[in-house]
Structure 1
């Protein structure tokens, strides 16, 4: 099935029910279907057809949402970017994807100019503006109006036909485009409805608090398949009070976010000022959530939080920890530290460097196989060769599985560092530091050291109105971890650097350490792991 067909279904069954809400405007499913059909007709009139790549650089808005379905309807490929990227970066992605068209929000004229200058000689045929402004060859609103009433039928697609180039976060270098297909995404939609938001119907409502170009876009595609209205924040700024107001007004039942944003939501005073009793599923993914933050979320929201582990390449479908298995107290039944069990229809294996499956509780690389796994990266055979082994997708995450099949993430393989011949997993130490009442956030990175090969640096953020010193934190941690795991230095910043998707990439922490002149003299911002030292720490 062409993924855009869901709009036809919704317009038939629920023509007058709201499907998209933004500020003071609401669009019914019948209006969305008509707009998407007109949008698709406009793109087709300008030469877009099956397999063509459409680069989209936009803030969240209705036209961006519609562009996804219009692209799918033509059998073309939707290629959204993070709108916080620089102009040159977007031009590079346009070149990499071989974009034939560029849909650019009116707030980014420099991006439009950069893409056009670079791509016109390489096959870009037009730039269409989303939202107000003056850039581009035409405006989406004008084109939709000009083709109003035109009915465009869904292009015939095969299971493996691409529909979306999903860019990786690019935390370890240039972004790669994960090729998502119509058939794969049909499974993903079904799996999300089964494992993350069971029982969802048109009576539910979903709030968007993240860019639609990434995981939030997948989440909203899932919502559309149950005719659930998507509700946008009215401004680009993440206004937590407004988010809670919308939850109360629209009786929002689910939202998708990342741990750092969920932490902000539950620690904000607005959490105690608005009715959020309608929430049934608050889904967090994209990074591990520390235990102390889980407890705070459970106290504020109740047992509604849902964790899933998954990469863009697997579209989130690796593990799930449902609300019932989130416990506020650290008792014997609490599944502390787990990211959950295997998703429906998916299989997880913990493997060593040779691909051998390890025994329960043995640490290795988390690998996954099943119909949610993407077919590969676009035009990147080297990355594909590294990502797949004997049919298994290698996540690059380290962890173990217990005897009941619950998976525990130790950390990214790239985050682990080797000190005095011992493997150090930052997350374990970070979890301990976050139990200190004055610490709100922490990131530990390995930096080169001439004696030990690498040592740990801990960057901490204190809670508002609280202060703490390096000696106090060191004494606190010394009683909780082995001596060889102790960071060598503790730094205190006002905030940790975050990516456009709210994550805290360790590369960015290292870059900031270097920018502040805090890295060891022999180190660089992009240092490589040093070889194991001959000595071993006591």
Structure 2
């Protein structure tokens, strides 16, 4: 299969009665999914969109979200996803940068979309999931009015499939573009390392706007499997779904797993169908991993990837917190490069590092991004000589296992969400009483990391922690905002004048210790 649309077509042909998607309210067979994708893409085409025009999606998880993905994949429209957790100003930036001609949105965002409409001149068609305002078309009407045969266009292998935004170190989101070829290879590779089959039933609770929100869904579909869609993560609802829908796979970061294990009702559910849980973003603490394995069995693995590319995996049979010293040590790694992936560790001069020496992680595969949308500078910085420069710092041991030790881009991972320190610093420094700031991640028992800000107030300023956090919430998504603030007279610096964040991390650890 050369396109994701062909994947949907194949499943409709060979597994027509199989469930493609299941939610609380409905089930969609493979046959029905293909038919609805054709109709929706036909309706969008009739509005004037052509191959590689953008269709933006602003919604929480629902079957309609994935049907929109499939419609875009069928016709060759680019699905441009929008993080619904962002502040209105951030959402506006993404929609203006992507320049979609169609916006599919969930009814709960009607007021927001209406507020932004005047500043979005490229959008000619609004399709609403749920109760629909007069200026939009109901999603089901769009399906009903589309042609059953589909539009007279189809996606091609080198067409762009997705445009997904990830925050950059400068505070400006970057649009990651990946082709159908790249996403097909991603689905195939992920299905291999995650051990999917036609019997796989994925429970999807993380947001669909993430690559992780569509990646495992595509991998299951690649093998003819199915997906159970939840609007968001609710631990009790997740356990109920595992039992009732015989879920075999799901994705959880440490905070999600902790919440599930802490539920008093966990022993009331039959979870024997669950064969595999992937963790990512950051290693699960060994005590939590031991507890999880005691309750659920040796079903956990680790994967390392990003919006721009897949990368590495530590498979289930190697995740053993009670094993040999080498096995326990590897739990701090993200495993080995997946089949078909090349990996290098390079120093600042671009030379390969020695074994055990820390440098920047470089990747090369058929799955990686094509470019950053409307950002040639970032593209040239990230893609050099065919290698994707991740910005992550790490080293490989004598067996090739990759250990990530820092983020070159100062990324903070809190509850599985990527937060870039510079983005938060820019927002803080919009406050007139802030002279300077530096943001770091500090250990957090629930979320893995939390955002801490060191603030140098402007002379004569009378600034409180509460006031500054409130300011941040007015310009940033709440999960990006500092959870702790420390006011200091000056920021420590290294000889070149750059802020010494190592010293700040040591200070934070000392004050917490």
Does the C-alpha gap of structure 1 residues 501 and 309 become closer, same or farther in structure 2, counting only changes over 3 Å? farther
Residues 1:279 and 2:299 are matched in the alignment: no
2:84 alignment partner, SS class: coil
Provide the residue aligned with 1:217 in structure 2: 214
How far did 1:142 drift? 0.7
Q: 1:381 aligns with which of 372, 376, 380?
A: 376
How far did 1:347 drift? 1.2
How far did 1:531 drift? 9.0
C-alpha distance in structure 1 between counterparts of 2:448 and 2:20, whole Å = 39
Provide the residue aligned with 1:512 in structure 2: 483
Provide the residue aligned with 2:287 in structure 1: 292
CA contact 2:202–2:216 (8 Å) conserved in 1:
no
Q: Which moved more, 1:145-154 or 1:47-56?
A: 145-154
C-alpha distance in structure 2 between counterparts of 1:444 and 1:75, whole Å = 40
Provide the residue aligned with 2:510 in structure 1: none
**Deviating 4+ runs (over 6 angstroms):** 444-450
Does the C-alpha gap of structure 1 residues 276 and 251 become closer, same or farther in structure 2, counting only changes over 3 Å? same
How far did 1:148 drift? 5.9
Provide the residue aligned with 2:316 in structure 1: 323
Does the C-alpha gap of structure 1 residues 232 and 15 become closer, same or farther in structure 2, counting only changes over 3 Å? same
1:210 alignment partner, SS class: coil
How far did 1:137 drift? 2.5
1:291-342 deviation per Cα after TM superposition (whole angstroms, max 9, x unaligned)? 333223222221111211111111xx21000000000215324123111000
Does the C-alpha gap of structure 1 residues 359 and 377 become closer, same or farther in structure 2, counting only changes over 3 Å? same
CA contact 2:196–2:219 (8 Å) conserved in 1:
no
Provide the residue aligned with 1:476 in structure 2: none
Within 5 Å, which residues of 2 pair with 1:244-255? Answer: 244-255=239-250
Provide the residue aligned with 1:109 in structure 2: 110
CA contact 1:18–1:28 (8 Å) conserved in 2:
yes
Provide the residue aligned with 1:82 in structure 2: 83
Provide the residue aligned with 1:462 in structure 2: none
Does the C-alpha gap of structure 1 residues 384 and 288 become closer, same or farther in structure 2, counting only changes over 3 Å? farther
C-alpha distance in structure 2 between counterparts of 1:212 and 1:237, whole Å = 10
How far did 1:448 drift? 6.4
Does the C-alpha gap of structure 1 residues 21 and 172 become closer, same or farther in structure 2, counting only changes over 3 Å? farther
2:269 alignment partner, SS class: coil
TM-score (norm 1): 0.77
CA contact 1:3–1:72 (8 Å) conserved in 2:
yes
CA contact 1:513–1:519 (8 Å) conserved in 2:
no
1:479-513 deviation per Cα after TM superposition (whole angstroms, max 9, x unaligned)? xxxxxxxxxxxxxxxxxx9xx999x76xx4xx332
Provide the residue aligned with 2:26 in structure 1: 25
Residues 1:363 and 2:375 are matched in the alignment: no
Within 5 Å, which residues of 2 pair with 1:109-508? Answer: 109-120=110-121, 123-134=122-133, 136-147=135-146, 149-152=148-151, 155-157=154-156, 159-169=157-167, 173-196=171-194, 198-201=195-198, 203-214=199-210, 215-233=212-230, 236=231, 238-314=233-309, 317-329=310-322, 331-334=324-327, 335-415=330-410, 430=443, 440=446, 443=449, 508=481
Unmatched tracts of structure 1, length 5 or more: 418-425, 451-496
Residues 1:53 and 2:54 are matched in the alignment: yes
Provide the residue aligned with 1:97 in structure 2: 98
Provide the residue aligned with 2:68 in structure 1: 67
1:344-399 deviation per Cα after TM superposition (whole angstroms, max 9, x unaligned)? 10011111111111111111111111211111211111212322333321111111
1:238 alignment partner, SS class: coil
Does the C-alpha gap of structure 1 residues 229 and 446 become closer, same or farther in structure 2, counting only changes over 3 Å? closer
User: Structure with the greater relative contact order (CA < 8 A, sep ≥ 6): 1 or 2?
Assistant: 2
Unmatched tracts of structure 2, length 5 or more: 413-439, 457-472, 508-513
Provide the residue aligned with 1:466 in structure 2: none
C-alpha distance in structure 2 between counterparts of 1:160 and 1:75, whole Å = 10
C-alpha distance in structure 2 between counterparts of 1:27 and 1:449, whole Å = 52
CA contact 2:176–2:369 (8 Å) conserved in 1:
yes
CA contact 1:448–1:522 (8 Å) conserved in 2:
no
TM-score (norm 2): 0.81
CA contact 1:448–1:529 (8 Å) conserved in 2:
no
How far did 1:156 drift? 4.5
Does the C-alpha gap of structure 1 residues 395 and 267 become closer, same or farther in structure 2, counting only changes over 3 Å? farther
1:213 alignment partner, SS class: coil
Q: Which moved more, 1:206-215 or 1:406-415?
A: 406-415
Does the C-alpha gap of structure 1 residues 443 and 68 become closer, same or farther in structure 2, counting only changes over 3 Å? closer
CA contact 1:88–1:114 (8 Å) conserved in 2:
no
C-alpha distance in structure 2 between counterparts of 1:442 and 1:217, whole Å = 23
Does the C-alpha gap of structure 1 residues 443 and 149 become closer, same or farther in structure 2, counting only changes over 3 Å? closer
C-alpha distance in structure 1 between counterparts of 2:483 and 2:86, whole Å = 18
1:92 alignment partner, SS class: helix
1:201-254 deviation per Cα after TM superposition (whole angstroms, max 9, x unaligned)? 1x2211111111111112112222222221122xx4532111111101111111
How far did 1:57 drift? 0.3
Provide the residue aligned with 1:529 in structure 2: 499
C-alpha distance in structure 2 between counterparts of 1:528 and 1:99, whole Å = 39
